[in-house]
Each structure stands twice: as C-alpha cells, then as structure tokens.
Structure 1
Amino acid sequence: MKITYSFLVTTILSLSFSFSQNREKDTIDSQTVNVVKPYTPTISDAFKIKDNPSLEDKNTIQKKEVRYNIFSIPVASTFTPAKGKAANVDKRPPAKLYDNYLTGGVGSFTNIMGELYLNHALNNTENVGGYFSHHSSGGGIEGVQLDDSFSKTALNANYSQKLSDFSWKIDLGADLQSYNWYGLPEGVFDQTEINMIDPSISYTGFEVGGNINFEDAIIEGGNVRFRRFGDARDSGENRFLADTRFAIPILDEEIKIGLRVDYLNGNFDRNYITEEGLNYGNTTFGASGYYEMIEDDLTLQLGLNFVYLRDSETEDNEFYIFPNFEASYRLVDDILISYAGIKGDLIQNSFYDITQENPFVSPTVLIAPTDRSYDAYLGLKGRLSNNVSYNIKGRYIADRFKPLFKLNDAQTFAEEDYQYGNSFNLVYDNVKTLSVAGELNIAVNRNFNLRIQGEYFNYSTTNEREAWNLPDITGNVFLDYQISEKWFAGGSLYYMGQRKDEFQLDGTLVDTDPTLITLDAYFDANAHVGYKITDQFSVFAKANNIANNNYQRWANFPVQNFQALAGATYQFDF
C-alpha cells in the first residue's frame, strides 16, 4: 500500500516538474499594448431604458365628452359663383408703322433737303417702291473766292416679287450731282485770273440692276448691275457687274462658291498736262470658295480666291491667287469670342467710286485696279452684359497700286478751270497699313443707345513721300435717345486726325519746290431734336458743326461753319 502511495506522489511530482520546465516554450508571452485612440462611447453603446413610466396620481382630471349639434336651416339662393380669371394688364398699343414718308427742311447757307420714300404692296407677293432725295446748299463759306455751292439729287424705282421657292427684284435709278473746284491756294493768282475761272463740276449717272435669291437650293442667288457715269467735260464710264453664289452640302458641312464678272471701260477728254485723251478698260473674272467647318465652339473657313485680269488697253493678262481663311472660337460663350483671318482680292477702282469719296478730282485721273495681296486681322468681340457689346481688332494690309488723293500742281499758264491747284489727282503706290480699332455699343435702356468707335493707322509707302490724305486716327460717337413718347433726340461726333498733302507751283520759266502741307485734325459735332405731334406728323431741328470749326477735309477746301436746319416729316400709307 505504501508502495502504491509512493508511486502516485512520485508521478505527480514528476509531471509538475516536467510542466514547469516546458513553460518556456509557451506561445503566450508578455506584450506591451499601445492605445492609439481612446475609447469614445457613442449613444448607440448606451443601454436604453425600455420601461414606460406609470402614472399613479389619483387626482388626474378625466376628460369630459363634448357633443356638438348643428341646427341647419335650408336657405333659398340664386347666387352662382363665377369662374376666376386673371386680371388684364393695361399695356400701350403697338406703334403704327407706315410704309411711306416725306421729309423736308431748310436752313442756313440756303441749305435745302428733302426725301420721299414709297413702298406699296400690289398683292401678297408683289411690291413696288421708290425714293427721291435732294440736298443742296447755296454756299457762302467765309474767305472763299469762288462759288462753293453744291447739289445732290437721286431718284430710284423698284419692283419685287416673293414666291414660295425664290424672290427677285429689279430697280433703276438716276442721280445728278454738282460741285465747284473752289479750293484755290492763297496768294498765288490775282483777281483777274480768278474771275476767269468757271469752277463748276457736274456728274450724271444712270443704273439698272436686279437680284434673285433661292430658298433651299444649291444656287443661293445672284446680282447683276449696269451703271453709266460721266461729267459735263466729256468724261464717261461704263461698268457691268454680275455675281452668283453656290452652297454645296458635304456631310454636315458646306462648301461656299462665288463667281463674278466685273467689266469697266471709260475715257477722259484729256490728261492734266496735254490735250491727249485718256482711255482705260479692265475686265476681271473671279472665283472664290471656302469650306466651312463648325465644331462645338470653333468655326473655321478654309478657301482661296482666284482672279483673272484682262487690261483691254494694254492687252496685258494677269492671274492672281489670294488667301481666303477665317476662324472664330468662343472662349467664354458670348462674353469672349476670338477671331482671325487673312483674305485678299483685286479691287476694281472706278471713276464713280472715286468721285463719291472726293468729288474735287480732276477729269484727268488714271484708273487702275488695286492688288490687295492680303488683309490679315485678329480680334476679340463679345458682350460684357446684356446691354454692352464690344469689338477689338488689329489689321495689317498690304496693297499694291493703292490710289492716293494728292493736290494737282498749280499752273500759271492754266487753260482748264481745274489747273489752278484747286483739284486733286490720283497717285498709286505700294502701301502697307497697320491699324488697331475698337468699338463699344451700349444700350443703356430701350430708349437710349450709344456707339463709340475709334481706329489708329500707321502707313508705310514705297515711292511716295507720304500716304497722302490718309488720317492717322479716326473716331466717332453716335447716340440716339427717345426722351418720351413725343420727344426724341440724337447726336454724332466725328474726329479726323492729321493728314499730309503736297503743293507745287508750275511756272512758264521756273518750277517751285514741292511744299509739304499738314492738315490739322478736327472735330465735327452734330445734333438733332424732334417732336412727334401725331402718329404721322413730326417736326425736327438739326445743328451741324456745332463747334463752328472752319476745318479742311481736303487741302484748300474749307467747310461751312455752324449750320442750323429745321423741317418736318409726314408718314402715310396708300
């Protein structure tokens, strides 16, 4: 028995010793625990009290039951409620628009102006119309020794028809203009010579033309016009123009194509120095086209312009190729739009166009086309707000054979009335022009509009001393104000920068050296005001050259000082 107990004790001790020796191999070791974030209890971790409170107050007041009784008595009534509708807003009836008007006025310097515009619908598709305009002045410029009166009269009649697929129009007109070469150089000729001068100039013109436009067709339309123009000194000019336009769709884009013919032929009775006549004649054939691509905010036009020139006097032929590229990109919707382009063309100069710009040219000028090799431009435009829009543009133009107005030499042995240094000639030169222009349009409200424009020019010539009679800066301001339902007003301000010209006296024995002339810059302010007596009849007053400047647009040709004019306008229908 003792042996048995001894064996059990020995076994237990052995197991205990053996277990204590194997603790070194236990996988559970002592470790250090680092608390990264302290425990933050949330509401969800709390135990919610689920016991409902009991109310054992014996003094609780019990709610009493309340019963309502309605004593309804039927009442006979004939009232019928009307349907609700919005109240009418009182608004001004739209102004009556008339198709015809007659206006006329008289003023200082014996100024007379009149204008008649007519338009009448024969039926739903046919219209006839026309206009007549006249503006004349008796002259009276201070310090001028020759007659300085002028007169301009124009007459036109037209007929048009609009059908479902196309519309067309034909018109014919005539005009009569008279001026005077009154710009004599000071201190050159004596009174006896001056009294012998007849400075009158008379221009007459006749034209007939028409146009046609198609709807949803490859041929978009075309124009044709013939003009006869001449003066009272046996000068004459004929011009015929015709053009047509095509739009060829390709997938979602279009190719625009234009074809034109421009025929010009004319003659002058003599040249400035001798009695030998001058003849000129040019015919141009042009074909231009571009591919237009519109992709999101980008609009791109890629094309070329081809022109063939035939000089009938010299029998010379020339072929020109000009660029015709333009692109625009909307940077910020309608707020900021950038655009750029480079184009070129052969410009057909004519005696008619020249006299409309400067009526004091002599009937001895050389007429030739201008090669505008390229006109490159870059600009930004857009809207600053719903009422303000702007346009900023820079240009670089290269012209070959550009016409410039320059004073004719004064001759002490003059035989013609325009040879006293009182007329202008055309000289041609290669001119490169760099310009920067800006325009701002402001619609203050629906009754007040303002437009401001300005442009700076820098010229580079090849042969001539200066870019004769071209300004370095131009600017203008226009405003229109509807003061009230009856009163209206407006105004304009023109600014012309300095120009250069040259004067030379040719004598029988000796010629003088050319003298450079600098024409001063000037402002010309104008204003008008009117009152509407009835819907059809109104009166107005105008004031021109308000600053009373005796400026010269052309050398030796001063303009009228302050001018006032009053008149009336009548609107009507047939």
Structure 2
Amino acid sequence: MKKYLLSITIVAAFYANQANAQDDKNKNNNTVGTEVVNVTSEYQATLNDAFKINDNPLIEDEDINQKKEVKYTIFSVPVASTFAPAKGEAAAVDNDSLANFYNNYALLGYGNFNTIRGELGIVEQIGSKNMYIGGLFKHLSSDGDKNLDGVELENSYSKSNLDFTLGQYNGNNQWSTQFGAMMSKYNWYGTPSDFYVSNFNFAMVDPLQKYGDVHVGASYENYTGAFEKAAVSYKYFWDDYSSKESRFIFAPKFNVELPEQTVHINFEADYLNTQFANNGIDNNQDKYSYLNLSVNPSIKFFDTDYSVELGAGLTYSLGKIKGVEDNALVIYPMVKANFNLVPDIVQAYAGAVGGVKQNSYADLAEENPFAAPSLELRPTQTKFDLYAGMKGKLYHNLSYNVRVNYKTEDDKAMFTINQYDINQPNKQGYQYGNSFGLIYDKVNTLSLFGELNFDFSDKAKIGISGEYNNYSVEDYENAFHLPQGKINLNVLYNFTNQWFANADLGYVGQRYEFGGGTVNDLKLGDYYDLNLTVGYRPTAQWTVFLKGMNLVNENYYRFNQYRVQGLQILGGAMYKFDF
C-alpha cells in the first residue's frame, strides 16, 4: 500500500470577506494548522479537482524518501502539491462535510447592512470516469453602514466570481483548463479627519471604483519521465478609470531521477504590462512593463530520515517604467533541508530561499481595494530568506510548529495614504486624500512564528498561532502597514451530531502610516476581532447557520482612515447534493 502525505489546514471562518475593508482583514486572521496524515483512496472528482486552494507550505518536500507522485486528500482528490482541502468558505460552515462529502453545494446567507452571500459549486464526471467539468460561483455584497462613525461617503461594496474548469486524471498524468471572470466595486470612503472640521462638501466626491478581470489557464502534470509539469495562465484586468493590465505566466518544470538524488530544473516567464488611468496632473497615462525570466536548478539528496536540496535561482528582469528601461539581474539561494529527528514525531527543517515577486495592479487591488489607479509598479527582490524550525507532535492529538526566519527584500511595496492636494484641479474620486499609493524601500524582517493544534477526535478542535515581526528599513523611519504581531485562535466544538459552534479570535498588532516627511509617522493602533458561528444540521445534506462577526463591535482601522463595519449578523443555509 502506498502512502501519501498531505498537510491539512484547520478551517478558521466561513465569512472570510467582511464588510468593506473587513473583507481583507480576515486574510490575516485565518488560523492555519498543519498535520501530516497518511491517506489512500481511489479517484473521484470533487470541487477540489476543479478549484484547488493555493497554499504556501513551509516545506515543499514533505515526502523525504520518495518521489512525489499522485497525492490524495481525505476527499479522495489527486493533487500535485500540498493544499488546503476545503470547498471554498463552505466547509467552515458545515464541519460535517469533512465526513459526509458531496460533490456539489449551494449556499445562501443574508445579514444586516443588507449583506448577501451566495455560492454555488458543481463538479461532475463526464465521458470517462477520470474526466470532470466544474463551475464555481461566489458573490458577496453589502450596502454598507450608513451610520459608520466618521464616514460621510458611500461605503457599500460587492464582489462576484465565476469560474469553470475541465480536467482529466490518468494513472501517469493529469491535465486541467480553467476560465473565469471577476467583477467588483468598492468606494474610496476613507477621507482625512480634518475634512469633518472644515465643512468639506462631500457631495462633490464620487468615490466609486469598479474592477473586473477575465482569466484563462491550463496545466499538465506528468508522473513519469523527466518532464514533470507545465502551467500557463493569462489575466486581463481593468478598472472604471480606463486602467488596464495584461499578465502572462508560463512555468515548465523538469526533473531527472538518479539512484539517490533528484535533479530539478524549474523555469518561469512572467510578463506584465500595465497602463494606469489619466492621473489628472499632466494628463498622462503611466505605463509599466516587466518580463521576469527565471531558472532554478537544484539537486536533492534524500534517504529515509532526511532530504537536502541544494540549488540557486537566477532571475533577469527586463523592465520599462514610463518609457525608461529598468533591467536587473538577481541571484538568490534555493537550499532546503528536512530531518526526521524522531520518525513521525519530531521533524527539523531549515533553508535559504529567495526570488523576484511581480507586483501587479490586480494583486495590489485584491490586497487593498482602496488603492489609487495610478500606482508605481516595480518588482520586489527577495535576496534571501533564511528560516529554521521544528514541528511534530507532543502527544497523539497535540501538534506544534515553531519557526524563525530572517529575510531581506529590495523594493518591498508598502501602502501609504495619498496626501490631499487642495490646489490640484479636476480632482478624481480617489484624489481627496482617500486612496493609497505605494512606498518602496529595502526591508529586513526578523520573524518568530509558533502554532499549536489540539484535535479531540470528532468532539473539538483548537488551533492557536502567533507571529512577531521586527522590521528595519533603509530610507524611511518605519515599515508601513506591516503589523508587528498577529495572534489567531480558532475553536470548533461539536455539541452533538447536529449542533456545532465555531469561534475565532484574531489580533493584529501596531502598524505605521507614513507621515509625509514633515511630521512623524502615524501609529495605527492594534485591533482584535471576534467571530462566532452556530450551526445546525437537520439532515446530512442541510446545514443552517447563524454567524456573528466583529462581536466586540469595534470600528477599528483595517487601513489608515478606513474603519470597518461594527457588529454584523449573517444567517443562512447550505445544501450539499449529488446529481
């Protein structure tokens, strides 16, 4: 019997996107736990085939003594890499779906502020038993909080995603294709505080911004021979201010198996072309283009109790900023090591890695939808990221992971509020001191991370994690909008086979906002957020739930000048089904 290793993520909260800026907040509040389990099963198509959740494991090579082949999840889904086995946010609503799994689901919820959440996920086998087709629709919208303290502008928002996929799994390979689209709208509602004491005419501001994209992709994986994998993707992104962006990525991977070593060679071509809106100052549209060409050769030595991968990466970046060439050659390490100190109980790991991150308008707007459509774009170079840690089990139901890492990044992109210029003519809706630009600096980060996960069988699960960050910068006094610490606590408790509750508490530490060079940098206070879900399963297929978010009713600042909604209540139901 072959054994396959999988990292399982503890699901934190169903309502991952909360009102306005709070929808981004939960990305930092998710409790993540990892545990290695052995699973064997036959193939059956599920939503995870169609829409795999991206995850960045600490160690890419969990399987120390064997080549990666087909990896099975507890949902009997073959995948090519470690990922979180959850069907979107739906799995967090219905914990029992982990045990009573259906291929398809529909979810609908409604809450105060006229918040509407809907999801529909369908995947079916077609033709041969190993071919599948799937679709996933997700919608979240809110009319906003009309009584939000210190907010005069419209703060409603909405976001909808529709994705389709077609794929097939065979014994020695698998392939998939994807097509999708996204539409969203937000409002730049976070104006400066002095507007409220100067009788500012808010009626003159139109804060609405709309985003959209279409994206296609394909991937092919081969489990025999030197050719391992190839993935290609294209995204076209635009906004309501005539900004537009194209991004194309092609990434083939090869490996050669030797008796006691494996040689890996990874390539990637990442092309970005962005044209921003008319900035209203000189009536110019700023244009950026970057082509990052990367190669990462390495050789891996492995045995039963260890694996060591030695390699290096090289990226040549050909850029053009507003017509001016910006080329760079970056060399970085790619070294990873894993050691089973006590088999199946204690594992130590360490490494030195690096790379070049393409900062795209689409990614930045996803991270902060209140960004201005006139950003300065340049890649971030991670010269090295050194890490070392240890993970394992303290008891059969208690696992842990501790890690320390130190990394240095050149041209790290950090958000900062754009200052209001009263003398600027023909102002756009984002030019009232209510949108974010970018500051780049060399940032060194020392991080300490630790997590504990308790698993009391089917009765309860508890996960707690914490992270401390110390930043040092070269050109400025502080790092901006980067928290000094994070703490996440998640508790899932099954009272009976039908009743359950899921609580999660997130804490984000102090951050800084750029003072503009003439005044001291502004300290953004820490905040915490408490969410609670209570669910009832009248049948194996139906789950009804009631979720309270931001239960402490704290209108904290997720971003500078952007308060989040207070207490939110959302109720709804989920139906799981097979055709």
Name the TM-score class by shorter chain.
0.7 to 0.9
Q: Decide whether the 8 Å contact of 2:260 with 2:303 is kept in 1.
A: no
Provide the C-alpha distance between the structure 1 equivalents of 2:125 and 2:505, rounded to a whole number of angstroms: 38
Unaligned runs of 5+ in 2: 1-97
Deviates more, 1:125-134 or 1:292-301: 292-301
Change (3 A) 1:191 1:200: farther
Q: 2:530 maps to what in 1?
A: 525
Shift of 1:273: 4.6
Shift of 1:143: 3.0
Shift of 1:232: 0.5
Shift of 1:492: 1.2
Q: 2:385 maps to what in 1?
A: 375
User: What's the C-alpha RMSD, in Å, of the aligned pairs?
Assistant: 1.7
Q: Amino acid of the residue matched to residue 119 of structure 2? A: E
Match of 1:343 among 353, 361, 368: 353
Q: 1:326 maps to what in 2?
A: 336
Equivalent residues in 2 for 1:31-110, closer than 5 Å: 96-110=100-114
Q: Aligned pair 1:487/2:499, yes or no?
A: yes
Q: Aligned pair 1:358/2:368, yes or no?
A: yes
Q: Aligned pair 1:142/2:149, yes or no?
A: yes
Match of 1:469 among 459, 481, 499: 481
Equivalent residues in 2 for 1:190-209, closer than 5 Å: 190-191=198-199, 193-209=201-217
Q: Decide whether the 8 Å contact of 2:291 with 2:319 is kept in 1.
A: yes
Q: 1:216 maps to what in 2?
A: 224
Provide the C-alpha distance between the structure 1 equivalents of 2:325 and 2:157, rounded to a whole number of angstroms: 39
Change (3 A) 1:286 1:142: same
Provide the C-alpha distance between the structure 2 equivalents of 1:345 and 1:151, rounded to a whole number of angstroms: 34
Provide the C-alpha distance between the structure 1 equivalents of 2:519 and 2:212, rounded to a whole number of angstroms: 34
Q: 1:227 maps to what in 2?
A: 235
- Aligned sequence identity (%): 35
Q: Secondary structure at the match of 2:362?
A: helix
Provide the C-alpha distance between the structure 1 equivalents of 2:360 and 2:245, rounded to a whole number of angstroms: 8
Provide the C-alpha distance between the structure 2 equivalents of 1:529 and 1:128, rounded to a whole number of angstroms: 33
Provide the C-alpha distance between the structure 1 equivalents of 2:99 and 2:509, rounded to a whole number of angstroms: 42
**Relative contact order (C-alpha < 8 Å, sep 6+): which is higher?**
2
How many residues align? The count is 474
Deviations 1:73-111, CA, capped at 9 Å, x for gaps: xxxxxxxxxxxxxxxxxxxxx965321110001111111
Q: Decide whether the 8 Å contact of 2:225 with 2:256 is kept in 1.
A: no
Q: Secondary structure at the match of 1:269?
A: strand
Deviations 1:255-303, CA, capped at 9 Å, x for gaps: 1111111010011123475432210000011111211111442321101
Larger radius of gyration: 1
Q: Decide whether the 8 Å contact of 1:205 with 1:229 is kept in 2.
A: yes
Q: Amino acid of the residue matched to residue 299 of structure 1? A: S
Q: Aligned pair 1:161/2:160, yes or no?
A: no
What TM-score results when the alignment is normalised by the length of structure 1?
0.80
Provide the C-alpha distance between the structure 2 equivalents of 1:503 and 1:562, rounded to a whole number of angstroms: 31
Q: 2:37 maps to what in 1?
A: none
Q: Aligned pair 1:399/2:404, yes or no?
A: no
Equivalent residues in 2 for 1:422-571, closer than 5 Å: 422-503=434-515, 513-571=518-576
Shift of 1:539: 0.7
Shift of 1:316: 4.1
Provide the C-alpha distance between the structure 2 equivalents of 1:423 and 1:111, rounded to a whole number of angstroms: 24
Q: Amino acid of the residue matched to residue 437 of structure 1? A: F
Provide the C-alpha distance between the structure 2 equivalents of 1:259 and 1:513, rounded to a whole number of angstroms: 46
Q: Decide whether the 8 Å contact of 2:556 with 2:564 is kept in 1.
A: yes
Deviates more, 1:334-343 or 1:561-570: 334-343
Change (3 A) 1:299 1:155: same
Q: 1:81 maps to what in 2?
A: none
Provide the C-alpha distance between the structure 2 equivalents of 1:413 and 1:433, rounded to a whole number of angstroms: 39
Q: 1:409 maps to what in 2?
A: 419
Q: Decide whether the 8 Å contact of 2:273 with 2:288 is kept in 1.
A: yes
Q: 2:248 maps to what in 1?
A: 240
Q: Aligned pair 1:268/2:276, yes or no?
A: yes
Q: 1:129 maps to what in 2?
A: 134
Q: Decide whether the 8 Å contact of 1:401 with 1:428 is kept in 2.
A: yes
Deviates more, 1:515-524 or 1:278-287: 515-524
Provide the C-alpha distance between the structure 2 equivalents of 1:538 and 1:339, rounded to a whole number of angstroms: 41
Shift of 1:379: 1.1
What TM-score results when the alignment is normalised by the length of structure 2?
0.79
Q: 1:294 maps to what in 2?
A: 302
Provide the C-alpha distance between the structure 2 equivalents of 1:331 and 1:386, rounded to a whole number of angstroms: 17
Provide the C-alpha distance between the structure 2 equivalents of 1:127 and 1:572, rounded to a whole number of angstroms: 16
Q: Decide whether the 8 Å contact of 1:396 with 1:435 is kept in 2.
A: yes
Q: Decide whether the 8 Å contact of 1:218 with 1:246 is kept in 2.
A: yes
